[in-house]
Structure 1
Amino acid sequence: MDWARRNKYFILLSKGVERDGWKFVLLARFSPVPSYIINYTLAATEVGFVLDFLLPTIIGCVPMILQNTSIGSLAGAAYATASGSKKSQIWSYVFPMVGILSSILISLRIKKYSTQVSLDKSNTVD
């Protein structure tokens, strides 16, 4: 815990959780960081369980599940097209593209959010 409290990234995370609670957890769930790392890290903060952790976790996992499912659908459509066994459906291509676009937008939002928290932190120190 002493190492974590001195680590600038943990301090950033801790401030984000204190400041925005469930919003921060939801953004963390949308990030490409593995969930076990997020779980261990959030456990060391003052995050509330039900409203700030559990509900955003449930909501935040749905897009990743849908994205993984649509990627599997895209693979099936690609195989069907290559083998000529059936006509591929447009939705098999649309959903993965929406998933990729949402991942990019979420990553940009997380970067903007972390920059805001860093700036707020440096403004309070001065």
Structure 2
Amino acid sequence: MNLVHSNKYFHILSSGTERDGWRFVILARFSPIPSYVINYALAATNVRFIVDFLLPTVVGSVPMILQNTSIGSLAGAAVASASGSQKSKVWSYILPSLGIMSSIVISLRIKKYSRDINMVESSSTDHSKSE
């Protein structure tokens, strides 16, 4: 367990859940990272179960379900257009685009947490050196 807690990526995840709780979890649910990886990682943090884990998981799973459904619909539209039918729908393009945008948002948030944590650690290291 000490190996996990000394990992810098786990430190970022742990700090993110401590600072933003459910907001961080819902952003993680919107990301393309497989849910089992997120579940294992969050289980090792101090996240509250109902408020910070369960509710954001339920809410955050709906967009992924819609995205996967729209990808299937997009594949069906591609097959239909290849056969000469004009069955393509705008929604088939919008929901995958939303999935891509949410992946970008979670990446930017993680980068911000990483930068903030590094700044805090470097200032505490500088402060301890000056004493």
Query: Could you say which TM-score interval applies, normalised by the shorter chain?
Result: 0.7 to 0.9
Aligned residue in 1 for 2:18:
18
Aligned residue in 2 for 1:49:
49
Larger radius of gyration: 2
After TM superposition, give the deviation of residue 125 of structure 1 in Å. Answer: 4.4
- Are positions 1:28 and 2:28 aligned together? yes
Runs of 4+ in 1 over 3 A off after TM superposition: 120-126
After TM superposition, give the deviation of residue 124 of structure 1 in Å. Answer: 4.1
Aligned residue in 1 for 2:108:
108
Is this contact kept in 1: 2:74–2:93, CA < 8 A?
yes
After TM superposition, give the deviation of residue 86 of structure 1 in Å. Answer: 4.5
- Over aligned residue pairs, what C-alpha RMSD do you find? 2.1
**What count of residue pairs does the alignment treat as equivalent?**
126
| TM-score, normalisation: structure 2 | 0.79
- Structure 1 range deviating more: 103-112 or 35-44: 103-112
Aligned residue in 2 for 1:62:
62
- Structure 1 range deviating more: 113-122 or 79-88: 113-122
Is this contact kept in 2: 1:16–1:117, CA < 8 A?
no
Q: Which amino acid aligns with 2:32?
A: P
Do the aligned partners of residues 57 and 7 (structure 1) sit closer, same or farther apart at CA in structure 2, a change above 3 Å counting?
same
Aligned-residue identity in percent: 67
Do the aligned partners of residues 30 and 116 (structure 1) sit closer, same or farther apart at CA in structure 2, a change above 3 Å counting?
farther
Q: Which amino acid aligns with 2:74?
A: L
User: What is the alpha-carbon distance in structure 2 between the residues aligned to residue 48 and residue 125 of structure 1?
Assistant: 30
Structure 2 gap segments, 5+ residues each: 127-131
| TM-score, normalisation: structure 1 | 0.82
Aligned residue in 1 for 2:4:
4
Do the aligned partners of residues 10 and 103 (structure 1) sit closer, same or farther apart at CA in structure 2, a change above 3 Å counting?
closer
- Structure 1 range deviating more: 27-36 or 60-69: 27-36
Do the aligned partners of residues 63 and 111 (structure 1) sit closer, same or farther apart at CA in structure 2, a change above 3 Å counting?
farther
